[in-house]
Amino acid sequence: MFKKYLDTILLPQKFYINDGRTRKDPGKKYGSGGLMKGKKYMLCSTWNAPKNAFGPVDELFQGKSVDDVLISTHLAMQFCGLEKLESFHFHDVFKGKYIAQQVKEFEEQIKVIF
C-alpha cells in the first residue's frame, strides 16, 4: 500500500522528468531524471520494535538498520532528486517507556537540521 501511495503522489513531470536516460544518450545514469534536485527530505518512522532489534545480526532484522529496511523509500526520494537528511525513528512505541524521551530527541534533531 505504501508503494502504491508513493506511485500516486510522486507524479511524472512534477517530481521527475524521466528515469534520466534518453534515446539520444542511453548511457546516462538511471535515476538521474529527478526534478527535485537541491531539495532535501527527512524520513521519520515509528516502530513497535525496540531499537536493539536493528543492528545485531541475531535479531529479526538480521543486522540491518531502519534505513536499510526502508531502502526502497530512500531510493524513491533519490529518484526524484532529493537529498537525504538524517532520519529519525521512534522505537518500542506500544510497549516502551521512553516515548517522551524520544520526542525530546526528535525535537532536538529538528532544531539542529532546520
Please state the domain count of the chain: 1
Could you tell me if 64 and 54 are in contact, meaning their C-beta atoms sit under 8 angstroms apart? yes
The secondary structure element, H or E, covering residue 101 is helix 99-113
Give the residue carrying C-alpha cell 538521474.
32
Query: What is the pLDDT of the chain when averaged over all its residues?
Result: 90
Q: Which tens digit of pLDDT belongs to each residue from 65-96? A: 999 999 999 999 999 999 999 999 999 999 88
Give pLDDT, residue 18.
79
Q: Domain with 42 in it: what CATH number?
A: 3.40.50.360
Provide the grid cell at 56: 545485531
* Residues 92-103, mean pLDDT to the nearest whole number: 92
Prediction pTM value: 0.83
Contacts of 73 (CB under 8 A, 6+ apart): 2, 6, 43
What secondary structure letter does DSSP report for 52? G
